[in-house]
Chain A
Amino acid sequence: MKKQKLVVVGAGMASGRMLEHLFETAAEAYDVTLFGAEPRGNYNRIMLSPVLAGEKTFDEIVTHDAGWYEQHGVTCRFGETVTAIDRERKTVRTSKGETVYDKLVIATGSAPFIIPVAGKELPGVRAFRDLDDVDAMVAAAGKPEAKAVVIGGGLLGLEAAAALRLRGMEVVVLHLMGHLMERQLDPAAGFLLQKELEGRGIKIHCKAQTKAILGEEKAEAVLLDDGTVYPADLVVMAVGIRPETRIATDAGLQVDRGILVDDQMRSSDPDILALGECVEHKKTCYGLVAPLYDMAKVAAKTLIGDEAAFRPVETATQLKVTGVTLYSAGDFAEGDDREEIVLRDASAGVYKRLVLKDNRILGAVLYGETSDGSWFFDHLKKGTDVSQMRETLIFGQAYQGGAPLDPTAAVAALPDDAEICGCNGVCKGKIVSTIREKGLTTLDGVRAHTKASNSCGTCTGLVEQLMQVTLGDAYNPAAVTPMCGCTPLGHDEVRRLIKSRHLKSIPAVMQELEWKTSGGCAKCRPALNYYLVSDWPDEYADDYQSRFINERVHANIQKDGTYSVVPRMWGGMTSSKELRAIADVVDKFSIPAVKCTGGQRIDMLGIRKEDLPAVWADLGKAGFVSGQAYAKGLRTVKTCVGSDWCRFGTQDSTGLGVKLEKFMWGSWTPAKLKMAVSGCPRNCAEATCKDIGIICVDSGYEIHFAGAAGLDIKGTEVLGLVKTEDEAIEHVAALTQMYREQGHYLERIYKWAKRIGYDEIRRQIMDDAPMRKAYFDRFVFSQKFAQVDPWSERVSGKDKHEFKPMAVVTREAAE
């Protein structure tokens, strides 16, 4: 039978989930063409707030990548807006022409509501709806002392405000109603939330009626009815959404607030289905993800002729602002027939309120402490008669008989049908059985197979506890090891926050991230210094007092307090002139030991610190620069003689080694970086145990990485094969930059690569050309500031104090 043609308009979360269900049950039923107005596929829109805050990257929130669409044979038409539907001829039209369908699914989502005031068209006024909005807001936040006004104090507006504040903007929230998030919160909880946000430096203006947005060329300020003016470089409209129904209306489908659908998600035309935020079902439009996913399930079944019906369920909401815990569910308006139970602990910032009717929970608002949210919600949905536990109900599950339960035991006590993940409607029994059936041991595994905690992520803790219960000791949550005793934060956390909060000095990091010691310690200071050098190459002023002595004086300290000096010999090549200069220096300063290093260069050992600048001056005259043999940075590029001399050499390995070293010297890395280039697979330069190695072959250059020959011994992994020297250099530099940006301080590349995953590194460096180019460009940029020979700087007088005693006390003075 010939496959039917399915055209889907809108590539968002609802249609994405529908396609997943469709391919699971009837992969061969349809030829699918997917139109999306955004120039990208399906991503987790709920997580745009963390992306805006800099807590996640866009890549982390992509649900379906190009590979997924290809695997399922979906024809993607992203960036192409469908402008009309011809129901007679069963086609849809875009600017590029017409496409025929047998079945059509409309999933156009919603459009942000823009309040009709003067100035709403000005540049600088944005909605908060898609990645383009996020990019525009991030760009606006990048300007010094930039100011933002967020119109709308609901879920979306507050998430945007908190994220922009984290990015360093001055933020004002304008809210029409008397308290924040009035649809989810009662006034008391709204007030606690307002206090919390004000504590973060966000100004909140309630009962604010926006009159106009002022500005000539672009938005400059917001004017309120009461005459207040707030200056603004950025105005974010987050007052609400409305279903995007235009093409349905134009096509003559029945549309009220949204596109009208029946229980099977069919519109008034049986060949056209609709789902998601654009539809209206029994007088209700939906904006939360859980009901949309239920619609997706139903729509997929309808498409293959199975019976299914959409039955809306209660949903709970959580605010995704890091550090604010807020949970609300159900209906909590006051009423004569309703009772409420309230718990307040103002100093602890805890507020809990339950609304009851006929001994059944009707609504719940939890602020500050939300771990019982899903338990209350469970009783709410089931309509449990709570009269037996009413006295202790507000204290939560732990107080319902017997000894208080720890969180893990509390999860263990939940019934199998208790909902764990509200977004995806995953219950406990499904997670437990999937863990057992598939032998899952990681959170990522559970997410991949069950979707639990895969959307907004707020139930991650519950899922982990469930894994603990199911797997026992076999589950080892990757506990974060703190950087040092000065902070509970791990290296990844600190690196992420340095970027997202624009922290550009060690005191700023310690202040903002609440370091427990006043000035750090010998563990965290060098690490922070490296992270700041690596993340802000042009802006950060290197703090030499936070560097280990070797990097501070650019030589290697020895056990007796003397130093060793290793000049660069590019690719291990030298000359009679260089060797003569070294011989002269050794004689002149009576250097006691001279040795060849493992990296093909010469080490002079036993030099007194006071002599270092003079030694460097003499070496400098012969053209030597520092070999950085002391650095957590690029050390050497070892080479063999390659096609210049060797009868087996396939490429100019020496030349490539010299080029790489000249291109990459001076760069700081999390730990030392040693490289090698071998001219043929006989591998005389021992490239396959280096941090990064290249093996030349007839067809090009095989790039290796993540080898080790120190405390651990490990052969390299293959990154991939490239054809030209230029490509080899670009790939190596991009890989180095990726490691520079992600590695923990003192973590060698093989440990980093194991942590990140070899395939992920190959994907980013070999397969994703734009990403590789971006890494490469950032490496090149940082090299502009890094390639200064530290020896000649010090010969010219920099850091003189390091090399001279402060005073020499004579006998007379001392007596």
Chain B
Amino acid sequence: MNAEIRNWVEVGSIEDIPREGARCVKNGDMTIAVFRTAKDDVFALEDKCPHRNGPLSQGIVHDGCVTCPLHNWVISLETGAAQGADEGRTLAFPVRLEDGRVLIDLSYSHEAV
């Protein structure tokens, strides 16, 4: 599989996701958390904190980041990188919005799998 071949998959409408919240998308064995910010930007991360695999989709969304519900690591929604003194990175997926429809590029997940 070549990373340059994009695989955009529609997962639903932006209205399905609560503002400053997240929904999950099941992709085989992997769960992807799809976040919507207060400004209606949408981001997708693997639903796994780099620390202890906490479900990031359950965290509090604020200022372009999500705080993991298990031990309060703060993860950037855009890059998946842990903020502050913590180190680690969660897989981030490119997201596109078309007329309110949310599309995620899943080619990355294949690479990871």
Q: How far is the CB of B62 from chain A (nearest CB, A)?
A: 5
Residue from the list B12, B18, B26, B62 in contact with A520, Cβ < 8 A: B62
Residue from the list A522, A544, A559, A815 in contact with B59, Cβ < 8 A: A522
Residues of B within 8 A of A549 (CB): 58-59, 69
Q: In the complex where A525-B62, A545-B21, A814-B106 touch, is A807 in contact with B54 (Cβ < 8 A)?
A: no
Whether A809 lies near B9 (C-beta < 8 A) is yes
Of residues 760 to 814 in A, which have CB atoms within 8 Å of B's CB atoms?
A: 801, 805-809, 811, 813-814
B2 at the interface (CB under 8 A from A): no
Of residues 548 to 593 in A, which have CB atoms within 8 Å of B's CB atoms?
A: 548-550, 552-553, 557, 559-561
B24 at the interface (CB under 8 A from A): yes
Residues of B within 8 A of A519 (CB): 20, 37-38, 62-63
Residues of A within 8 A of B109 (CB): 814
Bound-state CA distance A198–B16 (Å) is: 45
Q: How far is the CB of A81 from chain B (nearest CB, A)?
A: 59
- Give the contact-size bracket for chain B: 35 or more
Whether B12 lies near A521 (C-beta < 8 A) is no
Residues of B within 8 A of A805 (CB): 23-26, 31
Bound-state CA distance A522–B71 (Å) is: 12
Q: How far is the CB of A369 from chain B (nearest CB, A)?
A: 35
Chain A residue nearest to B102 in the complex (CB): A806
Whether A561 lies near B25 (C-beta < 8 A) is no
Chain B residue nearest to A557 in the complex (CB): B69
Whether B11 lies near A806 (C-beta < 8 A) is yes
Residues of B within 8 A of A95 (CB): none
Residues of B within 8 A of A557 (CB): 55, 58, 69-70
Bound-state CA distance A675–B98 (Å) is: 53
Whether B63 lies near A801 (C-beta < 8 A) is no
Contact with B along A466-482 (1 / 0, CB 8 A): 00000000000000000
A517 at the interface (CB under 8 A from B): yes
Residue from the list B11, B16, B31, B60 in contact with A525, Cβ < 8 A: B60
Whether A522 lies near B74 (C-beta < 8 A) is yes
Candidate in A519, A520, A522, A550 with the most chain B CB atoms within 10 angstroms: A522
Residues of A within 8 A of B38 (CB): 518-519
Whether B62 lies near A559 (C-beta < 8 A) is no
Q: How far is the CB of A604 from chain B (nearest CB, A)?
A: 19
A655 at the interface (CB under 8 A from B): no
Residues of B within 8 A of A653 (CB): none
Q: How far is the CB of A279 from chain B (nearest CB, A)?
A: 61
Chain B residue nearest to A521 in the complex (CB): B62
Q: In the complex where A559-B52, A561-B54, A807-B12 touch, is A801 in contact with B60 (Cβ < 8 A)?
A: no
Please count how many residues in chain A sit with their CB below 8 Å of the partner chain's CB atoms.
31
Q: In the complex where A518-B63, A519-B63, A522-B72 touch, is A545 in contact with B18 (Cβ < 8 A)?
A: yes
Chain B residue nearest to A813 in the complex (CB): B9
Q: How far is the CB of B16 from chain A (nearest CB, A)?
A: 5
Bound-state CA distance A553–B67 (Å) is: 16
Of residues 505 to 530 in A, which have CB atoms within 8 Å of B's CB atoms?
A: 517-522, 525-526
Bound-state CA distance A809–B113 (Å) is: 15
Contact with B along A529-547 (1 / 0, CB 8 A): 0000000000000001111
Contact with A along B72-113 (1 / 0, CB 8 A): 101000000000000000000000000000000010011000
Bound-state CA distance A813–B37 (Å) is: 26
Whether B17 lies near A561 (C-beta < 8 A) is no
Whether B60 lies near A807 (C-beta < 8 A) is no
Bound-state CA distance A811–B113 (Å) is: 13
Bound-state CA distance A544–B60 (Å) is: 10
Chain B residue nearest to A809 in the complex (CB): B27
Whether A814 lies near B9 (C-beta < 8 A) is yes
Residue from the list B53, B54, B60 in contact with A522, Cβ < 8 A: B60
Whether A545 lies near B61 (C-beta < 8 A) is yes
Residues of A within 8 A of B63 (CB): 517-521
Residues of A within 8 A of B7 (CB): 814-815
Q: In the complex where A520-B62, A814-B9 touch, is A548 in contact with B69 (Cβ < 8 A)?
A: yes
B45 at the interface (CB under 8 A from A): no
Chain B residue nearest to A803 in the complex (CB): B24
Contact with A along B9-48 (1 / 0, CB 8 A): 1011000111111011111100100100110000000000
Bound-state CA distance A383–B37 (Å) is: 65
Q: How far is the CB of A473 from chain B (nearest CB, A)?
A: 30
Whether A561 lies near B55 (C-beta < 8 A) is yes
Whether B23 lies near A801 (C-beta < 8 A) is yes
Candidate in B25, B38, B52, B62 with the most chain A CB atoms within 10 angstroms: B62
Whether B69 lies near A806 (C-beta < 8 A) is no
Q: How far is the CB of A189 from chain B (nearest CB, A)?
A: 41
Whether B25 lies near A806 (C-beta < 8 A) is yes
Candidate in B24, B26, B74 with the most chain A CB atoms within 10 angstroms: B24
Q: In the complex where A521-B67, A522-B72, A545-B19 touch, is A807 in contact with B62 (Cβ < 8 A)?
A: no
Q: In the complex where A557-B69, A561-B54 touch, is A522 in contact with B24 (Cβ < 8 A)?
A: no
Interface pairs (21), CB distance under 8 Å: A520-B62, A521-B67, A522-B72, A544-B18, A545-B18, A549-B59, A552-B58, A557-B58, A559-B70, A561-B54, A801-B16, A805-B31, A806-B12, A806-B23, A807-B11, A808-B26, A809-B11, A809-B26, A809-B27, A814-B27, A814-B28
What are the 9 closest A-B residue pairs judged by CB atoms, nearest first?
A522-B67, A806-B23, A807-B11, A545-B20, A549-B58, A522-B60, A561-B55, A549-B69, A808-B26
Interface residue ranges, A against B (CB under 8 Å):
517-522, 525-526, 544-550, 552-553, 557, 559-561, 801, 805-809, 811, 813-815
Known: A526-B60, A557-B70, A561-B53. 9 other contacts (CB 8 A): A521-B67, A522-B67, A525-B62, A545-B19, A549-B59, A805-B31, A806-B25, A809-B27, A814-B28
